[in-house]
Structure 1
Amino acid sequence: MMSKISVIGAGFVGSTGTYALMLKEVADEIALIDINESLVASEVADINQGFKGLSKTRIKIGTYADCQDSDLIVITAGLGRKVGESRLDLLNKNIKIMESIAEQINKTHTKAFILVVSNPVDVLTYKLSKMITAPVKGVYGSGCALDTSRLISVLADKFNEPVDNIEGYVIGEHGDSQIVDWDSVKICGLSVEDYCKAKNIAFNEDDKQQIAETVKKYGMTIISGKGRTNYGIGTSICVISEAILKNKGVVLSVALPDDSVETAVSKPRLVDAKGVH
């Protein structure tokens, strides 16, 4: 059975995510949708004109009608952060964009899964879940999946270990109030404290705080240097999408809407063909 993804937003995040999805052959077809017709046409052409044999996935210039028979809809549309701007500063700007997208998706009566990536992702995921009237299978946010990847990268650099030797999760909000779940952190199968004892490495609560702050601020650090983040979140899109469409059954720190706090919250959750649970 042919699989299809619609990616709404052909900016840096959407196009990078589409490229990663193509390379991993997560779906047979990807429809890239954007109000900027010139941009989306150029991105589709650029991706499709890669060397033959790398991927069987085909990318097309999409419209909202493509959402109707999509298995997954990924929303990346919206304004990105500027230097000194928090993700929540974007809310008033991007909520209007999300309202417009929800209106278009509802017209298609799609039964797809929806993955929200646009920032502030947790609030927008929650808001969109209330806007959607189409019979979708679920509305999820990329949440702290990227922050978790950043945590693992930071720990790998600090302890000079391969990333495959490190486990751990960032939970809560994708933003300033995110939390490193230190109880979940394992290095070579050991807690960070036991690992450091075994290696005779000095490590204390101040080190934990410094690592947590580094992870929290890494997005703005990257934006300060290159003006945007796209590769890390692009691969996060790919990993989450692949987990759903290829029934990987992996545990990721992704966000589900939570009525008790009126936002979406991340914690380690199973992601498979049934969605996020």
Structure 2
Amino acid sequence: MKKDKKIVLVGCGSVGTSFVYSAINQGIAQNYVLIDVNNDLAEGNAIDMTDAQAVLPTTFQTLKAGTYDDCKDADVIVITAGRPQKPGETRLDMVADNAKIMKTIALSIKASGFDGITIIASNPVDVLTQVYKEVTGYPKNKVISSGTTLDSSRLQKLLAKKMNVAPRGVHAHLIGEHGDSSVAAWSKAVVMGRPLKEFVKEGAITEAELKEVWDSAVHLAYQIIEKKRATFYGIGACLAKIVRAILIDEKCQMLVGTYLEGEYGVNDVYVSVPCIVGENGVEQIVNWDLDELELKEFKESAEHLKEVFKTAKEAIK
């Protein structure tokens, strides 16, 4: 196994740079390359972040602006490039514009000879991850959408606040689309080691309150965008968590987007489900026994994404 790990970031906007800053603070890799259509932006961020090298608790070897040639020997590529989401716009509204951008990026990475794992966070993330996979032809386990990792983190935070416990004591997840049709898998939620349904039976939290928590988690991004035009710290930390799991072969369960071929009764679409993530990317899809309503809503979310992918496919012809 190669000792010195290398990460390439494509897209040096707020999301991408938040990811790299989180990664260098955690000592995830030894070498980083920043790629952006605006090379000055990549160079400026590289200089800015290397200013922290002398004071970080763990250091790195190199962090520089680069080109797609640098992708050839990378272990992981993280793609965050694309136009940002505008106030009042859904993630799916950006599909045609960002599908064209993703196709260009995918072809450039493929031409470099890259053979590692790609994590995509560009929106609409599930659709653009499928565009990337189809353009490159890379195996599905090596092409991963950040999916509902952030959505689930938001759900955990909000549920923890509602129940007055620490967020790390909450295991609750959103599945399906990274967006408005995501589904709260309450039947699998655990709080402080106890099934959430036990708290509902005891009256500690009501079904109505759970619906409020789901609604807040799903729409929190719109609130942030309205106030500061973009969300980036949360997703930056989530991307670092996914990449870390790959580089140290953590084999932990995460809610990431992967290509389904019959799992959960769904085919031919990228959508978020629980997966075991390790050095080979998505190493296993975990089949949860969802309740009847959750499974129905999950399938509807997946079908919605399949319809949107048709728009993306038309845009990149």
Could you say which residue in structure 1 is the equivalent of 2:197? 193
Could you say which residue in structure 2 is the equivalent of 1:172? 176
In structure 2, stretches of 5+ residues that fail to align are 285-317
Could you say which residue in structure 1 is the equivalent of 2:222? 220
Pairing partner for 2:35 from 18, 30, 33 = 33
Pairing partner for 2:9 from 7, 10, 16 = 7
Could you say which residue in structure 2 is the equivalent of 1:56? 59
Which residue identity lines up with residue 59 of structure 2 in the other structure?
K
Provide Cα deviations, 1:139-161, integer angstroms capped at 9, x if missing partner: 11000000010011101111111
Whether the 8 Å contact between 2:126 and 2:145 is mirrored in structure 1 is yes
Does 2:186 match 1:182?
Answer: yes
Deviation at 1:56, TM superposition (A): 1.3
CA, structure 1 residues 265+134, in 2 after alignment: closer, same or farther (shift >3 Å)? closer
Whether the 8 Å contact between 1:112 and 1:137 is mirrored in structure 2 is no
Deviation at 1:205, TM superposition (A): 2.2
Deviation at 1:42, TM superposition (A): 1.1
Does 2:235 match 1:229?
Answer: no
Could you say which residue in structure 2 is the equivalent of 1:251? 253
Whether the 8 Å contact between 1:125 and 1:257 is mirrored in structure 2 is no
Deviation at 1:264, TM superposition (A): 0.7
Please, what is the CA RMSD of the aligned residues? 1.7
Provide Cα deviations, 1:52-81, integer angstroms capped at 9, x if missing partner: 141312311121011100000100000111
TM-score (norm 2): 0.83
Whether the 8 Å contact between 2:256 and 2:274 is mirrored in structure 1 is yes
Matches within 5 A, 1:29-178: 29-50=31-52, 52-54=54-56, 55-57=58-60, 58-133=62-137, 138-178=142-182
Deviation at 1:90, TM superposition (A): 0.5
SS at match of 2:77: strand
How far apart in 1 are the matches of 2:63 and 2:4? 14
In structure 1, stretches of 5+ residues that fail to align are none
Could you say which residue in structure 2 is the equivalent of 1:273? 279
How far apart in 1 are the matches of 2:55 and 2:201? 48
TM-score (norm 1): 0.95
Size of the aligned set, in residue pairs, is 275
Could you say which residue in structure 2 is the equivalent of 1:263? 269
How far apart in 2 are the matches of 1:224 and 1:208? 24
Higher helix share: 2
Whether the 8 Å contact between 2:200 and 2:206 is mirrored in structure 1 is no
SS at match of 2:52: coil
Provide Cα deviations, 1:150-202, integer angstroms capped at 9, x if missing partner: 0111011111111121112110110111001001211111122323555x53x
SS at match of 1:39: helix
How far apart in 1 are the matches of 2:113 and 2:140? 8
| Segment drifting more, 44-53 vs 31-40 | 44-53
SS at match of 2:189: strand
Whether the 8 Å contact between 2:143 and 2:281 is mirrored in structure 1 is no
* Percent of paired sites with the same residue: 34
Deviation at 1:122, TM superposition (A): 0.3
